[in-house]
Amino acid sequence: MSRVVKLAVIPGDGIGPEVIAEAVKVLDAVTAGGETVFEKTPFSLGAARYLETGDTLTDDDLDAIRAHDAILLGAVGGQPGDPRLKDANIERGLLLKLRFELDHYVNLRPSKLFAGAPGPLAEPGEVDFVVVREGTEGPYVGNGGSIRRGTPHEVANETSVNTAYGVERVVRYAFELAERRDNRLTLVHKTNVLVNAGGLWKRVVDEVAQEHPGVAVDYLHVDAATIFLVTNPSRFDVIVTDNLFGDILTDLAGAVTGGIGLAASGNINPTGAFPSMFEPVHGSAPDIAGQQKADPTAAILSVALLLDHLGLRDEAARVQQAVEADIAERGAARSTAQIGDAIIARLRA
Amino acid sequence: MSRVVKLAVIPGDGIGPEVIAEAVKVLDAVTAGGETVFEKTPFSLGAARYLETGDTLTDDDLDAIRAHDAILLGAVGGQPGDPRLKDANIERGLLLKLRFELDHYVNLRPSKLFAGAPGPLAEPGEVDFVVVREGTEGPYVGNGGSIRRGTPHEVANETSVNTAYGVERVVRYAFELAERRDNRLTLVHKTNVLVNAGGLWKRVVDEVAQEHPGVAVDYLHVDAATIFLVTNPSRFDVIVTDNLFGDILTDLAGAVTGGIGLAASGNINPTGAFPSMFEPVHGSAPDIAGQQKADPTAAILSVALLLDHLGLRDEAARVQQAVEADIAERGAARSTAQIGDAIIARLRA
Ligand SMILES: CC(C)[C@H](C(=O)O)[C@@H](O)C(=O)O
Ligand SMILES: CC(C)[C@H](C(=O)O)[C@@H](O)C(=O)O
């Protein structure tokens, strides 16, 4: 008996469609002939759709997406400075709206320095950690405003909202993940300045730590964490942090491990109440779009995270291994499709 | 006729006293026999003082400090986890209070990769930029709170407050600095998420840019900025950013340019209404305190910033050169005092 997985596919803008094409090819290749059948529904959302229809993400879009088991997303966002997009915030209105509406409270971002990947560090050591970034709270809630806008008396506020409920669930996830990995967890925040939010995070971590005596717990201020990411990234196993610090640390982590062309992510709702969403960490890079210059590896590794999330662990491991083998032997520049094809060839070998 | 500069000296905690001792020796050496006489007043403030008296920074302390022309600070903060400091927030109550009360709206943090300094990057290229970090607003204002603390229904908020007044004055400073340097300015923020605060920053930069047509202006999201700091730090000349992003970027920048043992900073009130304060970026490092293990270079470079701020440009340049020469020839490990002495020997040579 076969299992059907309904997959919403959102290629998005810029290089999104190109990298998603390869990711879907890999998904098809690794699941071909297997028990699980992926029924894919394409959704054309993003800047291009907005420019055509004025819609970013309608209630109907959301309902349709909710009816799926998982989501694969490329990248969204138009040409920076495009005057027609001046009043559109595709990032907030589409990407963040999906994360918030689908309660993706775990933004999972693994960082691994693969053999052969060219990183910027002289002596990186072994790098293999996961950032568990909170996805539905913090400074990302959109709880801000301004008065006297455009005058010399303007005041613009942004409020970071953090709840025990929201922090605890993501912290629990991080501890459980640490137990399946190397039993080390680092909380990153800025408790000495953001005393209320930081105090909550610290207390929750200390409490949940009681239930996980095997996990060694560490705390770093976010500024110090950036130092260790470049001087001693091996010190990290699982990092748990808030939405904004997680955003910053994972781009830096991506750079340290060979570029965000390799960085995959999952926006996960662990309860299963809503479909989880898998996407490369990189953006839509409109400057190189349509030229087959983009590296589809991050999108393909996002497929591995998707497969793992769906319990297809063998398939996930096979994709991961094919990618690692490909990275280890990278030579001359290849097109987006060539990289996808090479990884598929390794899958089949 | 000699000029008298009244200097408040706050050695602070941990390695603070050791590095400040060397910084003061350098200050004395470079100004010996000159027109300017420094009258130094020591202030014993910090965790140690708090443990003795329960005071962090009293109104009397503040009044006394305000009566000075400038401040030299080492580092403040006790042993992490010291239960007696549980309810004290020395960082907020002392360091940030000084920055806020003395209206240090420019937090100036130069980053330069000196010849011979061991950085973590394989191919750093030329690194020479300055971060102009806003010092009196943003997420640092202490405008937060929590309800139902310690219960499963806790909500902890932090509000970032940004004003046209506050943003404009620091942006103007950054543009003027760019004109004295390489005419390149990068605004770093997160305008796609923090739309209100980011919108204000972006508009102010665009407006002030009109008055500085010679300065090339660039914008980066904070996450992307961390990538470039490790993959292409040469792209930066002057970075202007908010209080929190500046905190994060300057620790990372310190790491990239050979460690925060070399990173100096000035907390500047450009109007002269209040004394400006010069301090190493590093913290009090209680774990190595009192062992003559700390590198006093950041404190000594902070003296160069202090001298420059006071218009003693020759003296500032001489300290800077002596430090650069010392770094270029570093060999075996030396004590804190040995490094200070070596720099002084170069000053005298
Ligand atoms: C596009 C942007 C809103 C997004 C974020 O800040 O979360 C991106 O940087 C990311 O990390 O996925
Ligand atoms: C100690 C702390 C409050 C301070 C800050 O966050 O500004 C420090 O990290 C710095 O950068 O000077």
CATH classification at residue B203: 3.40.50.2300
Residue A279 lies in a domain: yes
Q: Which of B146, B229, B256 sits opposite A196 (nearest CB)?
A: B146
Q: Does B82 share its domain with B136?
A: no
pLDDT digits (tens), chain B, 349 positions: 689 999 999 999 999 999 999 999 999 999 999 999 999 999 999 999 999 999 999 999 999 999 999 999 999 999 888 899 887 889 999 999 999 999 999 999 999 999 999 899 999 999 999 999 999 999 999 999 999 999 999 999 999 999 999 999 999 999 999 999 999 999 999 999 999 999 999 999 999 999 999 999 999 999 999 999 999 999 999 999 999 999 999 999 999 999 889 999 999 999 999 999 999 999 999 999 999 999 999 999 999 999 999 999 999 999 999 999 999 998 899 999 999 999 999 999 8
Tokens found for residue B1: 């006729």
Same domain, B225 and B127: yes
Distance CA A208, CA B8 (A): 45
- Are B216 and B180 contained in the same domain? yes
- In this structure, is residue B148 part of a structural domain? no
Q: Is A155 inside any structural domain?
A: no
B4 & B88 share domain: yes
pLDDT at residue number B96 = 97
Residue A261 per-residue DSSP state? G
Q: Write out pLDDT tens, residues B326-341.
A: 999 988 999 999 999 9
- Longest Cα separation, chain B: 68
Contact B36, B5 (CB under 8 A): yes
- Report whether B160 contacts B139 (CB < 8 A): yes
C-beta of residue B318 within 8 angstroms of C-beta of residue B347: yes
Query: Rounded to whole angstroms, what are the CA distances from B240 to B101, B176, B197, B248?
Result: 22, 12, 14, 13
Predicted pLDDT at B184: 98
Q: How far is CA B266 from each of CA A102, A117, B109, B138, B250, rounded to the nearest angstrom?
A: 45, 39, 7, 18, 12
Q: Which of B154, B196, B197 sits opposite A163 (nearest CB)?
A: B154
Q: Give the other-Cβ count within 10 Å of A272's Cβ.
A: 10
Contact in structure between A322 and A315 (CB atoms under 8 Å)? no
Does A221 score more than 90 pLDDT? yes
Total count of domains within chain A: 1
Residue B307 lies in a domain: yes
- Asked whether B240 and B170 are in contact (CB, 8 A), the reply is yes
- CB-CB contact of B159 with B143 (8 Å): yes
Residue B279 in contact with ligand 2 by CB distance below 6 A: no
Regarding whether B312 and B292 lie in a shared domain, the answer is yes
Overall pTM surpassing 0.95 (yes/no): yes
What pLDDT, on the 0 to 100 scale, is given for residue A259? 87
Residue B190 annotated among the catalytic residues of the structure = yes
Quick check: CB of B247 below 6 Å from ligand 2?
A: yes
Q: Is A221 helix (H, G, I), strand (E, B) or coil?
A: strand
What confidence score (pLDDT) does residue A1 get?
Answer: 66
Counting ligands in written order, which one lies closest to the CA of residue B281?
2
CB-based contacts of A138, cutoff 8 Å, min separation 6: A160, A161, A162, A197, A242, A243, A244
Q: Quick one: closest CA in B to A203, which residue?
A: B150
Tell which of A94, A194, A250 to mutate to test the B interface (max B CBs under 10 Å): A194
Q: Residue B321 annotated as binding?
A: no
Whether B215 and B188 map to the same domain: the answer is yes
What is the token pair recorded at A252?
A: 């830096």
Q: Percent of chain B beyond pLDDT 70?
A: 100
For residue A255, pLDDT over 90 is answered with yes
DSSP A263-276: -EEEEE-TTSSS-E
Q: Tell me which chain B residues have a C-beta less than 8 angstroms from the C-beta of A255.
A: 226-227, 230-231
What CATH number is associated with residue A51?
A: 3.40.718.10
The answer to whether the CB atoms of A162 and B155 lie below 8 A apart is: yes
The residue among B256, B284, B317 that closes a domain is B256
* Dihedral angle over CA of A159, A240, A117, B224, nearest 10: 10
A150, B203 Cβ separation under 8 angstroms: yes
Atom of ligand 1 nearest to the CA of A281: 12
Kindly report, residue by residue over A86-119, the tens digit of the pLDDT: 878 899 999 999 999 999 999 999 999 999 998 9
Is B67 within a domain? Answer: yes
Between the CA of residue B212 and those of B28, B220, B224, what are the distances in Å? 39, 19, 25
pLDDT over 90 for what percent of chain A? 94
* Same domain for B250 and B272: no
Closest residue by CA, ligand 2 atom 6? B247
A264 DSSP β-pair partners: A280
What is the pLDDT at residue B1?
A: 67
Per residue, what are the HEC states of A19-41? HHHHHHHHHHHHHCCCCEEEEEE
3-class secondary structure for chain B?
Answer: CCEEEEEEEEEECCCHHHHHHHHHHHHHHHHCCCCEEEEEEECCCCHHHHHHHCCCCCHHHHHHHHCCCEEEEEECCCCCCCHHHCCCCHHHHHHHHHHHHCCCCEEEEEEECCCCCCCCECCCCCCEEEEEEECCCEEEEEEEEEECCCCCCCEEEEEEEEEHHHHHHHHHHHHHHHHHCCCEEEEEECCCCCHHHHHHHHHHHHHHHHCCCCCEEEEEEHHHHHHHHHHCHHHCCEEEECHHHHHHHHHHHHHHCCCHHHCEEEEECCCCCCCEEEEECCCCCHHHCCCCCCCCHHHHHHHHHHHHHCCCHHHHHHHHHHHHHHHHCCCCCCCHHHHHHHHHHHHHC
Q: Identify whether residues B327 and B284 lie together within a single domain.
A: yes
Q: Which of A252, A259, A250 is nearest to A230 (CA)?
A: A252
A77 CA closest ligand 1 atom index? 1
Q: For ligand 1, atom 5, which residue shows the shortest CA distance?
A: A247
- Distance, CA of A196 to CA of A201 (rounded, Å): 9
Query: Do residues B269 and B105 touch, judged by C-beta distance below 8 A?
Result: yes
List of chain B residues whose C-beta atoms are within 8 Å of the C-beta of residue A148 = 164
- Other CB atoms within 10 Å distance of the CB of residue A37: 11
**Residues of the domain holding B10:** 1-106+264-349
Say which of B25, B50, B105, B140 is annotated catalytic: B140
B72 part of a folded domain: yes
> Do B23 and B60 fall within a single domain?
yes
The candidate with the shortest Cα–Cα distance to B275, out of B310, B326, B313, is B310
Would you please indicate which residues of A are annotated as catalytic (active-site) residues? Answer: 140, 190, 223, 247, 251
At A86 the pLDDT is 82
Domain edge (last residue) among B256, B280, B300? B256
**Does B13 share its domain with B83?**
yes
Choose the closest CB to B161 out of A120, A157, A224: A157
Q: Which residue has the tokens 């994360």?
A: A99
- Residue A304, token pair as written in the block: 């591995």
Q: Report in angstroms the alpha-carbon separations of A71 from A301, B12, B93.
A: 14, 53, 47
Ramachandran category for residue A54: left, alpha or beta (phi over 0 → left; psi -120 to 50 → alpha)? left
pLDDT score for A66? 98
Tokens of A112: 């691994």
Instruction: State in Å: Cα A247 to ligand 1 middle.
Output: 6
CA distance B127 to chain A (A): 14
pLDDT digits (tens, 9 = 90+) for A14-40: 999 999 999 999 999 999 999 999 999
What value does the mean pLDDT of chain A take? 96
Paired tokens of A206:
């200390």
The residue with tokens 């809630």 is A141
Element (H, E) at A239: strand A238-241
Q: Are residues B244 and B270 in the same domain?
A: no
Tell me the pLDDT tens digit for each residue of A278-294.
999 999 999 999 999 99
Number of Cα atoms under 13 Å in the Cβ half of residue A78: 20
Of the three residues B240, B256, B272, the one that is the final residue of a domain is B256
Is B246 inside any structural domain?
yes
With a CB-CB cutoff of 8 Å, which residues 107-126 of chain A face chain B?
A: 119-123
For residue B85, the tally of other CB atoms under 10 A from its CB is 16
Q: Mark whether B194 and B239 lie in a shared domain.
A: yes
Q: In 10 A of CB A316, how many CB atoms? A: 20
Residue A271 lies in a domain: yes
